[in-house]
Chain A
């Protein structure tokens, strides 16, 4: 029968599957048209009994506030936000419709909306797609009314292991709450809940604490202990992650300094302002490419390297070059430049913070477990930090430029005698360190406010990281930054953010008085002069 598929296609065109096949009594339709939200009962009753997809769509539209009634002829139609095509109810015919002033929204009371959502969700529990099913099961967690029969029937038909585990946990929760549960049931439930990550599990178990049956009481205690350990571990992991994240920011801001100060020995107090320039590059790039923050951010990373790098090269050529061998003077001159740059940004752009958009891929969370999730932007910045570090490390140790830089740093006259253009190397090194500072700024623009004072807040920290790690090597800066970030976040819960910072600074000051050369002191002849 070759005509049969064609006929099916024809039929499906005639009555679109989305809202087709829906039949509502006139009474139900009138209840939807009514201006009073309390009149919806007949329609809700009929739709709740209807297993069709069309009924589900109508209910969903009702809950989402996308169901409208036309003021002129009383037609009911579903109009999604932003769409210019409406679906007629019932019947499912689609028609272009843009004039929303003709429409009145069909409202629904909050209590009915909750009930309807539960009904809709229950339909999804038997959806063919395992991911949809899992989502539905997971949203059951707070649904105290989830009945045992339903869960048991679901469990029977379920093959997906994770969904089964979740269903078993929900059953265990019901069992623990059930006053009539037997001892064996309770014991099994406690064991299941001990490994569960349901938000209400701890509360439900705590209600059973000191149960008259010693075996049950013991099992409950054990389960509660396991839950607490998991929660503590998640909190610990979170602290560690935040510590690493802060550490990565510190490393990013100080790695350029590790090149200019650590390797070249130039004190650049304008380093923070180079970071600021990088952050403003992101802002500028987003102004150039409005509406595409992701592309702008990706383009801004190399751009910020170029902007800050050329600013650094200019700085080296015009000022720092004339002050080599006079570190204290370099410090003062670059401090002056940092003031000029700050004020320039204030005057030319604005004294206020600029809003930098976060592209979609930077926002959002990574859920590792139910108790532990990571913010995406911090994960990316951690990865970015490691990438930049690897890049700089490779540049310093695997390329010709790096070789020349190290040669000039170790013994300038001999390096020059061997044909290295030392002054060119100086400029390039300084530009490299400054460019990395700019890239750090690009990353920071995703975490903090972009304003004229951005650099100021990092300059003391960056110098501390470099000196703490040991001047003259890059891995010291990496270790130093991560250690300081971790220490800061580990201290914070006990002492508060401000005090943690003060304690850490004090500890660093004391550390440097005992070991002025830092964690990884330079050794050998180069360290002596």
Chain B
């Protein structure tokens, strides 16, 4: 079965569908399914029975494992050794991996289901706050006020006791459970009515942005009990090991790499399975998938919840490496930035999202330290250039070149 993309008009699109191939001529006759350029080769593999570890996936996992191992070894070298990596660099790399995981979770629903969430930072933030709460409790009596029970900001606000939702946050296992549960439940609570009433396309994007905006406003409030404007910070240790120690830094980095690798494999398993086929069917022709008998809303909800859990996991790993979590993670800009990472890397490829997240965040680190004024210009230009010129992202460049090469070869063959 050839992976023909069915040209169906997108909901809300003002133009009826026309055959592909009009792109670039400035016309708007674009089938516009999930907004990809129709001229680009579909990112689908050839056959129904796709291998989970196809070549790009294997290459990606190999690269990830090699890099993680290398960094881990270099970071544990004795101080002064030529190849030794500073703790700061390792933490920074770990942070990039967390962003990569978040981008991966966005790609799963955007690239394969066509759901563009502009509020995935919300789930990332929820996971981050759950993990931050645990780290906060672990400070114990070592805080500025030395209160063994209450975090510093609560003492400062004259709170008598912990609010109920802080209960159990001192337990590591319970926290791990919550890291998955809180974003998952939030995604379920939001996604179920949204997908049931068939909120889709741009509307879904705008509403998700409103959700993360509302959460940001809420977390700014001191009364919420999450440290308000300052957020949760000043962490000391995790599982009794200081967050500043080399072993902890390396351990967290390895955990992030492991989480990213496992999440990638899980996503590949889903995408390569029958469910993955349904994803793509829903993305390309939602009505047809529904008429054939698939419960489109359930498919979308399942993917959305799973993606939110991944985002929450990324947030939870992010906090101990960065040392702070504040309402900024709920800022709409952060979420959109992650989306543009995915767009830059290339949608519907999974490894593309990781690549994009790494490139964008390395660029961000460079610009915000070296040329802070240029960063927003760069980011803004990136948005425009990627959407206008690189609809398949960086990961799509080899495919495009390959396609052009093949076309060239075919042409010359005909001529000869």
Contact = CB atoms under 8 A, between A and B. Distances in A.
Among A328, A412, A460, A513, chain B packs the most CB atoms within 10 A around the CB of A328
Given A336-B380, A467-B203, A516-B203, A505 B16 contact: no
B210 A327 contact: no
A505 B35 contact: no
B376 to A, nearest CB: 4
Contact of A319 (B26, B30, B214, B388): B388
Interface in A329-343: 329-333, 335-340, 342-343
Contacts of B196: 513
B206 A467 contact: yes
Given A336-B381, A343-B380, A464-B210, A323 B220 contact: no
A512 B190 CA distance: 11
Interface residues of B, number: 57
B368 to A, nearest CB: 13
A35 interface: no
Contacts of A305: none
B218 interface: yes
B146 interface: no
B302 interface: no
Nearest to A341: B380
A148 interface: no
B381 A325 contact: no
A529 interface: yes
Q: Is the interface of A mostly helix, strand, loop or mixed?
A: helix
Among A322, A336, A508, chain B packs the most CB atoms within 10 A around the CB of A336
B347 to A, nearest CB: 10
B206 A463 contact: yes
Contacts of A413: 16
A424 B358 CA distance: 41
A498 B213 CA distance: 12
Contacts of B15: 324-325, 412
A198 B309 CA distance: 63
B214 A509 contact: yes
A529 B190 CA distance: 26
Contact of B14 (A265, A333, A467, A502): A265
A409 interface: yes
Contact of A499 (B199, B221, B340): B221
Given A324-B30, A327-B12, A343-B380, A516 B343 contact: no
A264 B217 contact: no
B32 A339 contact: no
A509 B207 contact: yes
A123 interface: no
B26 A322 contact: yes
Contacts of B199: 512-513, 516
B174 to A, nearest CB: 27
Given A327-B35, A505-B217, A333 B384 contact: yes
A287 interface: no
Interface string A338-350: 1110111011000
Interface string B17-58: 000000000101111101100000000000000000000000
B387 interface: yes
Nearest to B32: A325
B168 interface: no
B379 A339 contact: yes
Contacts of A267: 202, 206
Given A322-B26, A464-B210, A467-B203, A333 B387 contact: yes
B375 to A, nearest CB: 8
Given A265-B14, A332-B383, A460 B332 contact: yes
A105 interface: no
A339 B382 CA distance: 10
A506 B214 contact: yes
Interface string A456-500: 000010011001000000000000000000000000000000110
A325 B16 contact: no
Contacts, number: 154
A464 B213 CA distance: 12
A332 B210 contact: no
Interface string B189-230: 010011011110111011101110110011011000000000
Interface in A99-141: none
B184 interface: no
Given A332-B336, A505-B210, A505-B217, A409 B14 contact: yes
A211 interface: no
Contacts of B13: 265, 325, 327, 529
Contacts of A343: 373, 376-377, 380
B26 A321 contact: yes
Among B26, B32, B382, chain A packs the most CB atoms within 10 A around the CB of B32
B363 to A, nearest CB: 14
A333 B373 contact: no
B323 interface: no
Contact of A460 (B32, B190, B210): B210
A512 B207 contact: yes
B68 interface: no
A499 B284 CA distance: 40
A265 B12 contact: yes
Nearest to B118: A331
A323 B387 contact: yes
Interface string B374-398: 0011011111101110010000000
A297 B332 CA distance: 33
A87 to B, nearest CB: 59
A164 interface: no
Interface string B58-80: 00000000000000000000000
B28 A327 contact: no
A515 B206 CA distance: 15
A332 B12 contact: no
A460 B387 contact: no
A310 to B, nearest CB: 19
A22 B5 CA distance: 102
Interface in B323-345: 332, 336, 339-340, 343
B384 A337 contact: yes
Contact of A342 (B12, B31, B207, B376): B376
B10 interface: yes
B201 to A, nearest CB: 6
A320 to B, nearest CB: 10
A347 B26 contact: no
A492 B379 CA distance: 37
A506 B218 CA distance: 11
Contacts of B210: 460, 463-464, 505, 508-509
A337 B203 contact: no
A67 to B, nearest CB: 54
A9 interface: no
Contact of B380 (A338, A412, A510): A338
A326 B32 contact: yes
A514 B13 CA distance: 22
B30 A502 contact: no
Contacts of B211: 509
A464 B206 CA distance: 8
A374 B197 CA distance: 43
Nearest to A526: B14
Given A336-B380, A343-B380, A460-B213, 10 more contacts: A325-B29, A327-B201, A328-B201, A331-B205, A335-B336, A339-B380, A339-B383, A505-B210, A505-B214, A529-B12
26 contacts: A264-B14, A325-B31, A326-B32, A327-B12, A328-B35, A332-B336, A332-B339, A332-B383, A332-B386, A333-B388, A335-B383, A336-B340, A336-B379, A338-B380, A343-B376, A343-B377, A412-B15, A463-B210, A464-B206, A498-B221, A501-B217, A509-B210, A509-B211, A512-B199, A516-B198, A529-B12
Interface of A: 264-265, 267, 319, 321-333, 335-340, 342-344, 346-347, 409, 412-413, 460, 463-464, 467, 498-499, 501-502, 505-506, 508-510, 512-516, 529
The 9 closest A-B pairs by CB, nearest first: A336-B383, A324-B28, A340-B380, A339-B380, A343-B376, A513-B193, A505-B214, A325-B32, A336-B380
